[in-house]
Amino acid sequence: MKKAYLFAVTFIFSCLTASASQSDWDSLVHFSSTYGERLAGKPGEQKAAQWLTAQFEAQDVPVNIQPFTFFHYGKNLPSQNIEVVIEGQSDKTLIIGAHYDAIGYKKGSHGLTDNASGAITLLALAKQLQGKTPYYNVRIVLFGAEEVGLFGARHYVSSLIESQEIAYTDIVGMINLDTVIGGDMLYVHSAHALPYKCADSQANNFNSNPVLRDALLTTSTTVSNTLEYLVHPTTEDYPEGVTGGWSDHAPFACAGFPIAYIEATNFAIDGESGRDGYSQTANSEFWTCFDDKTLSACNREEEKFWGKLWHTKFDQQAYLIPTHEKHMKAQFHSNVALLKAFVLLEPNG
């Protein structure tokens, strides 16, 4: 079964890379390794934002910088969101976002999967859309300060509503990319039916409509050069296909917009806290000892790593490239292909 899976990934990877640029992948590896320290509000995050801005500007697209400050550990700290707007045929707008800050640097993490993968996917998407007109207006947004409280996304949503630049009813939803490579499988989530911890003023706005998730899943089955996208099974804490409010989609759901959230992980693994997707991979390199039969640790009391990548020493080039490069490349190019197809496709109805 494993051999068949690896063969399938290798075959699909060869198809994907036939129409995708190696330079996009090189940009991901470069960004993660060069700007591994991207802690929110610190100089490393600022340098990463400057590099990302320069890459968008090199594509000759207007870049909007949205500076903001956030309060964390007794200090007001600076950060910024980076936005690129691509005009479409419709008056309506689709927002696609990913955070670019990272956490866990002191543990060795460079945030390759979490979330250089999401940020550079959007950089590659903007490049793929050059000279094309999507159906909706597309706002590609890179959020700062996600890891310490979703501050960039919260600020963006507040500014969007307060400015009234776009009519509320003209925003069709938000697609969030967070840790979109590295895990064994690709999932698309929607918001939980139970509201997240939203502001009191948003109590009646929360939107858990899975329409955007379902549209992405449908599109993935019609595009020949994508991998399989799944909805996760019911878990102890979450019904099938829905997710919690720990990433940048949450402020949008609280504001009343449908969301979809692409994530690479593995809900089949019986991890440290159950089959909840926190163990991203069954690859034995990221376990003290992995039991193929139980899809869990050989010894739960002695296990140290639990197949977790994000926020750990494993989330960097030195560990992931030797074991996961083909797998991650296939996921990366699949995500770009899916999003490109989705924004260029005129929706039904």
What span, in angstroms and rounded, lies between the C-alpha atoms of 93 and 90?
8
User: pLDDT digit of tens for each residue in the chain (349 aa)?
Assistant: 333 333 344 434 444 443 447 899 999 999 999 999 999 999 999 999 999 999 999 999 899 999 999 999 999 999 999 999 999 999 999 999 999 999 999 999 999 999 999 999 999 999 999 999 999 999 999 999 999 999 999 999 999 999 988 998 999 999 999 999 999 999 999 999 999 999 887 878 999 999 999 999 999 999 988 999 999 999 988 999 999 999 999 999 999 999 999 999 999 999 999 999 999 999 999 999 999 999 999 999 999 999 999 999 999 999 999 999 999 999 999 999 999 999 999 887 5
Of the candidates 161, 145, 149, the residue with the CA atom closest to the CA atom of residue 67: 145
| CATH topology (fold) of 2-280+310-344 | Aminopeptidase (3.40.630)
Interacting residues of 27 by C-beta distance below 8 A, sequence separation 6+:
55, 120, 123, 124
Q: How far apart are the first and last CA of the chain?
A: 40
pLDDT per position as a tens digit, 87-106: 999 999 999 999 999 999 99
Domains of the chain, by residue range, sit at: 2-280+310-344
Interacting residues of 117 by C-beta distance below 8 A, sequence separation 6+:
28, 177, 179, 180, 181, 182, 264, 328, 332
pLDDT per position as a tens digit, 246-286: 999 999 999 999 999 999 999 999 999 999 999 999 999 99
